[in-house]
Amino acid sequence: MTDSLQLRSEYPLQELNTFGLPAVAEYYTEIHAADQLEQLEQWLKRHPMPLLLLGGGSNLVLADRVPGLVARILIRGWHRSDLSASHVRLRVGAGENWHATVEKSIEQGLYGLENLALIPGTVGAAPVQNIGAYGVELKDRISAVEVFDRQEQCLRDLSPEACRFGYRDSLFKSIEPERYIITAVEFSLARQFTAELSYAGLREGLGHDPVTPKRVFDTVCRIRREKLPDPTEIGNAGSFFKNPVVSADLYQQLKHRFESLVAYPDTDGYKLAAGWLIDQCGLKGFSLEHVGVYPRQALVLVNLGAARREDIERLARHVQQMVQERFGVRLEPEPRFYP
């Protein structure tokens, strides 16, 4: 029998969001098993209020006070089954740590996630953002997402197509953000390793020695540590802005004005490197009181100490304005501002 919900009021969230913002939840609970979600729904029917689902807190910018109920998803689990001679299904609980899951999959001889190493957060949060790095997007590794459907009041599996994955986007983020609670994610992973080396920085980092899954994993970790701050040491939410996609015409205009423009072909035109745009505005290392742009990676905004939501909003607006004025391109934040 699963334990009943334990609710606490005025619960501090500063240690539960990677920006380290001093948020306080009106109510807080933890979900350790999927069958607790029915209890959660029953409680919310009796006490109607907003619900925020919390994983690793790595993609959130929280207000000082978070109204309603914050439910931290801590569902564990790891189950593998044969899909074919070449592939295995791996179903992982939503509350499992993402990086630890990548590492464990490699140890068990299951390949496909190694390029996504060291991304902060939980397994359940990964599909919401459709995380991606070094030439791999999560959507290409998912075979199903197990959810609790709050509308139908049941557990069900959603296919990758039903998840409506896009660039750092999904059904769960922008289409029906209130309907589903992710309880597990199922991956289709290969028994034989095939390296994804389309990202030039990763190829260069690997050098000329034989490429193995562990070497890809270790190289990705090293590159990320060189560029990105550890949230346990400097509060941040990782990449703060999405790489903007522009039309081919605008790309050609910008390329004519800025010969060193960093961009990649995209189905809708060209994807510009947001970090490069910010860097060209002279903002790398820039600070506004309690917040700043990380000196090693302009795409990352950091908490320099005692930052609050309004400080981050002010810095983000300044960065957006500078890039808009110089390049005529609007940057869109990647983290979710709540509420």
Q: Say whether pLDDT at 146 is over 90.
A: yes
Residue 277 lies in a domain: yes
CATH number for position 33: 3.30.43.10
Tens of pLDDT, residue by residue over 12-48, are: 999 999 999 999 999 999 999 999 999 999 999 999 9
Given the residues 58, 105, 170, 239, select the one marked as catalytic: 239
Same domain, 321 and 189: no
Question: Which residue among 168, 186, 188, 309 is the active-site one?
Answer: 168
- Percent pLDDT > 70 in the chain is 99
- Domain edge (last residue) among 45, 73, 101: 73
Residue 196 pLDDT greater than 90, yes or no: yes
Band of pLDDT at residue 331, cut at 50, 70 and 90? very high
Q: Let me know: does 142 contact 160? Beta carbons within 8 Å.
A: yes
Task: Tell me: pLDDT of 2 over 60.
Answer: no
Last residue of a domain, one of 173, 197, 224: 224
**Assigned domain for 1 exists:** no
pLDDT single digits (tens) 95-116: 999 999 999 999 999 999 999 9
- Model pLDDT, residue 74: 98
334 is catalytic: yes
pLDDT number for residue 200: 87
Rounded distance between C-alpha atoms, residue 108 and residue 123, angstroms: 17
* Same-domain check for residues 98 and 197: yes
pLDDT tens, 158-171?
999 999 999 999 99
Provide, rounded to the nearest whole percent, the portion of the chain with pLDDT above 90.
94
| Phi, psi (deg, nearest 5) at residue 322 | -65, -45
Q: What is the pLDDT of residues 40-52, one digit of tens each?
A: 999 999 999 999 9
Which residues, in sequence order, are CB contacts of 316 under 8 Å at separation 6+?
A: 240, 301, 333
State yes or no: pLDDT of 261 exceeds 90.
yes
Enclosing domain of residue 287: 228-338
Are residues 127 and 55 part of one domain?
A: no
Q: What is the mean pLDDT of the chain?
A: 96
Is the confidence at residue 70, as pLDDT, over 60? yes
Check if 168 is active-site. Answer: yes
Q: Are residues 206 and 132 in the same domain?
A: yes
Q: For the stretch 106-117, what's the b/e string if a residue is b when 16 or more beta carbons lie within 10 angstroms of its beta carbon?
A: beeebbbbbbbb
Supply the pTM of this predicted model: 0.92
Average pLDDT over residues 152-162: 97
Q: What is the pLDDT of residue 1?
A: 38
- 191, pLDDT greater than 90: yes
Kindly report, residue by residue over 80-89, the tens digit of the pLDDT.
998 788 999 9
Whether 87 and 202 map to the same domain: the answer is yes
Class of residue 227 by CB neighbours under 10 A (exposed 0-12, middle 13-18, buried 19+): middle
